[in-house]
Amino acid sequence: MNARFPARALRTLALVVATGAAAAAMADDENKQMNIDHPVYRSECGSCHIAFPPALLGANSWRAMMAGLDKHFGSDASLDAGTAAVITKFLVANAGRRDTSGTDGSPQLRISDTPWFRKEHRDGHDGITQGIFRSEAVKSAANCAACHRDAGQGDYSERNIRIPKNGARS
């Protein structure tokens, strides 16, 4: 018998269990707190795009994002130190409980890159068609409000989802 096998099998099992638990924790966060109720956060971080729900990224990701606002996805979203500190506090307090690091170990900065998002928005799931995120009507997976009509209010409920008709790639 290979003595190393049980250890490796256990590690694999632990990974599978941890991944399942993380998904459950994310789903839990998702239902309990899509809190975007913070006037400073909403005005400073909801001007170029909707104010994203803090619950959809871990505290590690929000800290990393807030530390690099001068190079924010090709934009300069810099804030004065006081405002940045107030917003960071709100984001971290309402962050998802799970660490959102990528496979390389660095914090993921896009909600739309997280395993949870990819699974929830996979091709074929509830009207998501291949290429929809790059379609003329949607343009980017970050454009939540293209489908979640009340995303600006932090409402992602299923009854408020409308996938644009011309979104499908022919």
Q: Which positions touch ligand HEC (CB under 6 A)?
A: 30, 44-45, 47-49, 52, 56, 65, 69, 72-75, 77, 87, 110-112, 120-121, 126-128, 132-133, 138, 140-144, 146-148, 156-158, 161, 163
Whether the CB-CB separation of 167 and 137 falls below 8 Å is answered with yes
Q: Measured from the CB of residue 99, what is the shortest distance to ligand HEC in angstroms?
A: 16
Closer to ligand HEC by CB, 92 or 142: give it: 142
Closest C-alpha to 93, from 58, 68, 67, 65: 58
Place of tokens 């990393």: 64
Closest C-alpha to 31, from 91, 140, 116: 116
Q: Measured from the CB of residue 104, what is the shortest distance to ligand HEC in angstroms?
A: 18
Closer to ligand HEC by CB, 59 or 138: give it: 138
Query: Where are the extended beta strands (E) located within 99-160?
Result: none
Closer to ligand HEC by CB, 11 or 134: give it: 134
Q: Measured from the CB of residue 101, what is the shortest distance to ligand HEC in angstroms?
A: 15
Residues 6+ apart with CB under 8 A from 49: 142, 143
Q: Measured from the CB of residue 2, what is the shortest distance to ligand HEC in angstroms?
A: 43
Q: Measured from the CB of residue 73, what is the shortest distance to ligand HEC in angstroms?
A: 4
What sign has the CA pseudo-torsion 142, 147, 153, 158?
A: negative
| Residue 24 bridge partners (DSSP) | none
Closer to ligand HEC by CB, 4 or 32: give it: 32
Closer to ligand HEC by CB, 105 or 124: give it: 124
Distance of CA 24 to the CA centre of its chain: 15
